[in-house]
Structure 1
Amino acid sequence: MKTYIQTIIALILPFMSFAQEKGLDEKIDEAFQPVADAFFDAIFFPIYKGDTITIPFVLVLLVGSALFFTIYFGFPNIRFFGKAINVVRGKYDHVDHGVAEAMYGDSTPGGDAIETIKDESADGEVSHFQALATAVSGTVGNGNIAGVALAIALGGPGATFWMIVCGLLGMSTKFVECTLGVQFRDVGKDGTVYGGPMYYISKGLKSRGFAKIGKVTAAIFAVFCIGGSFGGGNAAQSNQATIVIKELFNWDSTAAGAIVGVVLAALVGVIIIGGIKRIAQVTEKVVPFMAVMYVVACLYIILSNFTLVDDAISLIVREAFNPTAFGVGSVIGVVIVGFQRAAFSNEAGAGSASIAHSAVKTKYSASEGLVALLEPFIDTVVICTMTALVIVIFNFGGFFEYGGDGSGVVFIEGVAYEGAGITSKAFAQYIPYSNIFLTIAVVLFAVSTMISWSYYGLQSWKFLFGRGKVADLVYKLLFLLFVVIGAAASMGSIWKFSDAMIFAMIFPNMVGLFFLYPVVKRELTKYLKAIKK
């Protein structure tokens, strides 16, 4: 532990030494911008490009797949919603008791078993609720606060409608990938359990006679997941935390972002060095508390302006099909903005959540798939919608123009706001000292998301490079470096890079889903028969 801390200090000390150099943030941003642009252009290649509308293939793949799974499985997002809640609350525990079946296991890369989510001394298994809470901690974050504000700033209120639609469809995709995560997980000799797309792609395709394709595709996913942990699960979170901290303390120093990033890196480093048990201990306490507090604050604002709620909903629906926000061009434009932000928020289709769900205590893989479909509902349909209503109600006062200049930055009373800053301004209109509350919420959401994603990225890193201590340390140091980069770089470049990395995971993940969805159908039928008896 002492060696780890010394190494981290050595990594971030140069940033502290040069923190007072004029233009440090700008220099970091200038170096990072070309990287972000290159990744974004590669992942979001268009299948149609007009004067005002560009349709990227990855969005068509994501939404088309979600629609296919929704229809193929008979609208599981609706039919099994009640069953999913019952599974979480333990109604079927007498049927779905824990078991670690040897048939699932094989040798672990690196010759050792991967860490579990909750307790390494308890055979690496967690309850349905614990698995859901851990996975939700990775998705309920600044995508719900900053991402929604960015969607509305770019696409207007109508983007909210399409975020909800994408969230509902994403429930079906999440059901498929998390069922597969349990079905093809590995169980080590000591009973520890681990899995995710890396394993259901490699093992699942091997079972279908495509071993080489599965091996290569799984490795590609692991690489993109590591990138996702550096981007959307890290840099984007520290970026938004830095924005609200600088706004709260009215810091305009060019080095402020780097300084905040170093402090955040030190905080996150102490947590992730302690391993997955410490990660779980932190997220289980922080995320439920802050999520409840945030929802209560949103409800207070919404109920305080109850007479405006129907107007807000009408505006959201109207703008979804007849957008007036500058720059979106047409319905397709606002659909793209809504889908992109919703996919970033709930990560349905990216496969990341199945890494957390794979360690659940169950012998029916479909049971955890049902639990997982609740994630996009909680994240996007509930929390994102509440944030959107607060911002739309706030802007009935005509504070900013939807669409702005197309950059996501809006001007309120002559001051530029972006992302979480917009949400913070809306809260401040109705709740005294809410800027302090929202700053704390954003920072804690950011930290919890970063440490959850450090687990996802580390598991992918281990899949590729084994479980050596040196390999682990290299990943953690790189992860902490991106905390600083995210805090110092501009919002535009960070969100470009983050979107690219999260959406890149969709390509290899979909290979696994489309090869293996009949397995999910079989396992669902098996589980439904079991609970019916």
Structure 2
Amino acid sequence: MQDWSGGDSAIAQGWSATIAAMDGVLNGAVIVLERTLFFTIGGLPLIVVWLLVGATFFTLRMGFINLRGFRHGIDVALGRYDTPDEPGEVTHFQAVATALSATVGLGNIAGVAIALQLGGPGAIVWMTLVGLLGMSSKFVECTLAQKYRILRADGTVAGGPMYYLSHGLETLGLKPLGQGLAVTFAGLCALGGIGGGNMFQASQAYIAIAHLLPGLADYRWLYGLGLATLVGLVTLGGIQRIGSVAGAIVPSMAGLYTAAALWVILVHSTEVPNALHTIWTTAWHPQAVGGGVLGVMVQGIRRGLFSNGAGVGTAAIAHAATRTQEPVREGLVAALEPFIDTVILCNLTALVCIVTGAYQVAPDTALGFEIVALAFGSALPGFALVLTAAVCLFAFSTIVSWAYYGEQCWRYLTGDRSPLPYRLLYIGATFVGSITQPSAVLAFSDMMLFAIALPNLFGCLLLSNQVGRDLKDYWQRLQSGKMPVHGIQFHPK
């Protein structure tokens, strides 16, 4: 815990005491949640098994839609199937950008470095597998979000797990179960987003800036005030403004990060074959890694799931707002996210850290961000500044995206009442996260964000037959050429 004031004022002391008390109250809850969610089954934590089993089932049930629908998903994201009169608030591209902005960032940068530290290079194989399987989970949950969304009188959209759990399961004669799962999801998501999606991001962005500007420590409150103001300006504009901001930040920062990573890999091109060989062999025969093969699998799977959020359900809230009349179409677009997030960006980060040897030469006390900064700095002197900017922008886009997720959950829980109280609470939490790091609050919210996968995936499994039927109908119409296309038409084989 850090004192944000740099002095011994009564306000600073009072604030520190308040946070300490908060930490103490939540520590017990964190322990209970952690023991439950990370209860191991054959060495794998329960929540990891749950997400992995769900992703595998959806991949098989939907006929490997993660592979056969890949090209069509790109066509849809590029707007080739858009029509101007479709209901919704954002475009396919903006929905993807919003959902990606909530996951792309610290998980792809610091998270990958941590996986290398704890699991070795072989963890990347399992991280990639999780990304590919997670595409099917994203497809199912985002298709359901579109199928059961609600168009409000003012033209805005209400959708996500809360609605397909309650309304979808009602169609199966499971109304009480559906309502219980929906309320559980909404409550955990609204509270968890304030911590993990907001306060943690604000704190980590400050750490990245302070790494370059140590003098900022005396003005941490000013940083917090500025960030909270920016978050307020964006989030008060709703999903349309959030989508516009995310649509500008995510492609530019992801593109810059990808270009820099490819340059580092090119500079160390002679090391690439050896790096790939090391990744593959240590996935099955790890060297000096605690837990052997199972330890490598656990680290790769956990980090992959954390990176793309497939099966958690939050991305479905953003995709519910897309302008389309075809739920399956939006599911196919959403399936691209784990591929971009985990298969591409995480693997690039891993290769950069491996070919430069940064994950081996970095001090044991080094944080994930510091390892990646060391790796890029070896080939791009001065890139630490650009990397810091990228981390901060990724963190900011994550904060504003989670504001929308939390707000939609708030509106569901309160019977669609005004979201202003939640918005003000969220903006205030941004400031709090900027000036301090209440460890128990963040740990508790992190556990809740894992916990929301339990009701979400359970509902998706029960509703998977509906998605399967809709996919079959959509694919037949697509193959027959009956769908209007703008630009180049793709006929799947």
What's the TM-score once normalised by structure 1's chain length?
Answer: 0.82
Aligned partner letter, 2:387: L
8 Å Cα contact 2:93-2:247 kept in structure 1? no
Q: Which moved more, 1:269-278 or 1:379-388?
A: 269-278
Equivalent residue for 1:147?
A: 111
Taking the aligned partners of 1:300 and 1:27, their CA distance within structure 2 comes to 48
Equivalent residue for 2:267?
A: 304
Taking the aligned partners of 2:8 and 2:209, their CA distance within structure 1 comes to 20
Equivalent residue for 1:529?
A: 476
Equivalent residue for 1:11?
A: none
Taking the aligned partners of 1:229 and 1:450, their CA distance within structure 2 comes to 9
Match of 2:327 among 365, 378, 387: 365
Compared CA separation, residues 261 and 332, structure 1 to 2 (3 A) = farther
Q: Deviations over 1:78-136 (max 9, x none)?
A: 12112212222344447xx8545xxxxxxxxxxxxxxxxxxxxxxx3433223222222
Q: Deviations over 1:164-222 (max 9, x none)?
A: 11111100100100010001111223443321000000000111111111111101000
8 Å Cα contact 2:98-2:242 kept in structure 1? no
Equivalent residue of 1:354, what SS?
helix
Match of 1:275 among 233, 238, 243: 238
Equivalent residue for 1:117?
A: none
Compared CA separation, residues 153 and 432, structure 1 to 2 (3 A) = same
CA RMSD of aligned residues (A): 2.8
Equivalent residue for 2:76?
A: 87
1:196-345 alignment runs, 5 A limit: 196-251=160-215, 253=217, 260-326=223-289, 328-345=290-307
Equivalent residue for 2:33?
A: 42
Aligned partner letter, 2:190: I
Q: Deviations over 1:248-285 (max 9, x none)?
A: 113595x7766644442233223223333332232221
Q: What 5-or-longer segments of structure 2 have no aligned partner?
A: 481-493
Equivalent residue for 2:426?
A: 479
Taking the aligned partners of 2:39 and 2:194, their CA distance within structure 1 comes to 29
Match of 1:186 among 150, 161, 164: 150
- Cα distance, 1:324 vs. partner? 3.3
Equivalent residue for 1:423?
A: 372
Equivalent residue for 1:75?
A: 64
Match of 1:499 among 427, 441, 446: 446
Taking the aligned partners of 1:357 and 1:275, their CA distance within structure 2 comes to 14
- Cα distance, 1:295 vs. partner? 0.8
Taking the aligned partners of 2:295 and 2:183, their CA distance within structure 1 comes to 34
- Cα distance, 1:514 vs. partner? 1.3
Compared CA separation, residues 530 and 146, structure 1 to 2 (3 A) = same
What's the TM-score once normalised by structure 2's chain length?
Answer: 0.88
Equivalent residue of 1:238, what SS?
helix
Equivalent residue of 1:242, what SS?
helix
When the two structures are aligned, how many residues end up with a matched partner? 474
Aligned partner letter, 2:395: A
8 Å Cα contact 1:246-1:256 kept in structure 2? no
Q: Are 2:383 and 1:434 equivalent residues in the alignment?
A: yes
Taking the aligned partners of 1:248 and 1:347, their CA distance within structure 2 comes to 30
8 Å Cα contact 1:171-1:348 kept in structure 2? yes
Q: Deviations over 1:333-363 (max 9, x none)?
A: 2222222221121110011111111122222
Q: Which moved more, 1:380-389 or 1:266-275?
A: 266-275
Compared CA separation, residues 87 and 46, structure 1 to 2 (3 A) = closer
Compared CA separation, residues 44 and 167, structure 1 to 2 (3 A) = farther
8 Å Cα contact 2:131-2:308 kept in structure 1? yes
State percent identity of aligned pairs.
42
